[in-house]
């Protein structure tokens, strides 16, 4: 079974549509027969995602640092809960378990996780697809900033194009499934 890593907020956000989208994405994963990997939390969009996957009969693996388990932030009903020693180990484990990566709305942690995994794709550390679910325009300003990076010469268009963006869960899953990495190196010292 292929597994999709989902980065998302430990808060629900200011608009109900964010929670609705997390639930819809969880159901879409389960209905497509895809497993989910996520940060293991029981609150916010993370908890909504996990509950939706489970309610739809899917499988979800949570990866959470021991420190957060001790603060009683873990979702105890997930299919599998892996407790790790640090945030770095959490990200490494999530990457190893997953075949693709998606960010739903979230805060600094979500952006940090997404940025790192996208950077790894740029560097050729992995050849897995990365995507954003742009719920209610949440990532529109971020995407404009990525275009600005290209314009200013700090990001190649090829690396910008690695970020797959959709507004509907099923469309994003379809794009992830169709993704094929380009041959050859992704980065060299001669490129910005």
pLDDT digits (tens, 9 = 90+) for 124-155: 999 999 999 999 999 999 999 999 999 999 99
**Dihedral sign from CA coordinates of 26, 31, 32, 34:** positive
Which residues touch 155 (CB under 8 Å, ≥6 apart)?
Answer: 146, 149, 192
**The pLDDT of residue 186 is above 60:** no
Please list, residue by residue across 30-48, b when 16 or more beta carbons sit within 10 angstroms of its beta carbon and e when fewer do. beeebbbbbbbbbebbbbb
| Confidence category of residue 185, pLDDT binned at 50, 70, 90 | low
Cβ 4 vs Cβ 176: under 8 Å: yes
**The pLDDT of residue 192 is above 50:** no
Locate all alpha helices (DSSP H) within 32-134, ordered by sequence.
44-55, 66-70, 87-97, 108-123
Instruction: Report the pLDDT averaged over residues 43-69.
Output: 97
**The model's pTM:** 0.94
Angle between helices 16-31 and 44-55 (to 10 degrees): 40
Cα 84 from Cα 61, distance rounded (Å)? 13
pLDDT tens, position by position, 65-79:
999 999 889 999 999
Q: Answer whether CATH 3.30.559.10 is correct for domain 3-176.
A: no
**The pLDDT of residue 97 is above 50:** yes
> Per-domain residue ranges for the chain?
3-176
Cβ 60 vs Cβ 85: under 8 Å: no
Q: What is the pLDDT of residue 190?
A: 46
Cβ 39 vs Cβ 110: under 8 Å: no
């Amino acid at each position: 079974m292929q597994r999709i890593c989902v980065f998302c907020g430990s808060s629900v956000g200011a608009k109900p549509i964010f929670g609705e989208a997390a639930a819809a994405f969880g159901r879409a994963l389960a209905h497509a027969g895809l497993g989910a990997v996520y940060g293991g939390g029981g609150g916010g969009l993370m908890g909504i995602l996990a509950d939706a996957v489970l309610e739809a009969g899917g499988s979800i693996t949570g990866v959470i640092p021991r420190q957060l388990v001790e603060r009683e932030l873990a979702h105890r009903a997930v299919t599998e809960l892996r407790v790790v020693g640090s945030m770095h180990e959490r990200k490494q484990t999530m990457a190893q378990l997953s075949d693709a990566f998606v960010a739903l709305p979230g805060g600094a942690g979500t952006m940090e996780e997404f940025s790192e995994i996208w950077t790894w794709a740029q560097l050729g550390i992995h050849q897995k697809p990365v995507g954003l679910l742009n719920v209610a325009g949440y990532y529109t300003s971020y995407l404009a900033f990525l275009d600005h990076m290209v314009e200013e010469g700090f990001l190649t268009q090829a690396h910008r194009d690695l970020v797959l963006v959709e507004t509907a869960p099923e469309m994003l899953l379809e794009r992830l499934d169709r993704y094929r990495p380009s041959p050859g190196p992704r980065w060299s010292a001669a490129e910005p």
